[in-house]
Amino acid sequence: MRTIISKLWDYQQAILEIARLNRELKTYPDSIKSLEKSVSVIEESLKRTKSELDVNKANQKKKEEYLELCKSNLEKSESKLMEVTNQKDYSAVLNEIDYAKKEILETEEKLIAILESIERNEKNIEQFEKSLKEKQEELSKALEEFNTTKKGQIEKRENLLEKKKKLEQDIPVRYLKRFYEIAKKRNGVGVAMVEKDETCSACHMKIRPQKINEMKKNPDHIYTCENCQRILVIIDDENI
């Protein structure tokens, strides 16, 4: 048969476990936080690379249009060269041709560099999209598993709340009052168990054999640890 003090111990264990479950239910595991961060980083990289690709494609169009203009000017200048009648105009047209050829060469080089950048952008986008899909699937699976676990934790918490409510009805008010007075000063732990080596499970101080004998004779009496002042309980086979 459970003694009042042993029920008080059960009451405390229920409270502590409920508090632990509440913390877990409010907090995602580090593994999920890490996956969410990875997804966010990949999404940002993908967004940035797509923006770079748009800029490169716009520059490609401008360079191609300018290249066509330079080639058209070169053709016009070469045609004009056949029509000039004096040295001055001939030299001027030659300068136009040289300038057009120089612009064509530089523009083609810049266009090649832009096309290489576009190719890199497209490869990176493909890789980012693949990585993003994999991480999103991994995150979705982790969240599903977490939510499944969460359901189990919620059910466990509900059972503990019911157990706590029943114990509150079984334990006299003066015991509960004393428990809360001590627990408030001792980080929520108001009851400590007498270990097999006759020490307090909370502060590990040795308990006098005489007190242990008295506790066995009067199991429903409140005895406290002389060091930490917590209520002491002996948990044996009869109290399990």
pLDDT in tens, 81-111: 888 889 999 999 999 999 999 999 999 999 9
**pLDDT of amino acid 145:** 87
Q: How far apart are alpha carbons 83 and 65 in whole angstroms?
A: 28
| Residues 23-170, CATH architecture | Orthogonal Bundle (1.10)
| Closest C-alpha to 223, from 236, 239, 234, 237 | 234
Among the listed residues 22, 16, 24, the one whose alpha carbon sits nearest the alpha carbon of residue 146 = 24
- Percent of the chain exceeding pLDDT 70 equals 98
**Largest interatomic CA distance in the chain:** 132
Can you spell out the DSSP letters for 193-209? Answer: EBPTTSBBTTT--B--H
**Dist CA 83 CA 86 (whole Å):** 10
Q: At what angle do helices 87-170 and 4-26 cross, to 10 degrees?
A: 170
Q: Could you report the per-residue pLDDT of 24-40, keeping only the tens digit for each?
A: 888 778 889 999 999 99
Bigger pLDDT: 54 vs 153: 54
Query: CB-based contacts of 113: which residues, under 8 Å, 6+ apart?
Result: none
Is residue 240 very low, low, confident or very high in pLDDT (cuts 50, 70, 90)?
very low
Nearest-angstrom CA–CA distance, 138 and 134: 6
CA dihedral of residues 99, 102, 107, 110 (deg, nearest 10): -140
Question: CA-CA distance, 174 to 179, in Å (whole number)?
Answer: 9
pLDDT average, residue stretch 179-208: 96
Task: Report residue 237's pLDDT band, with 50, 70 and 90 as the boundaries.
Answer: low
List CB contacts of 115: < 8 A, sequence separation 6 or more: 60
Measured CA to CA, the distance from residue 60 to residue 66 in angstroms comes to 10
pLDDT at residue 202 is higher than 70: yes
Task: Identify the bridge partners of residue 111 per DSSP, sorted by sequence position.
Answer: none
What are the boundaries of each domain within the chain? 23-170, 173-239
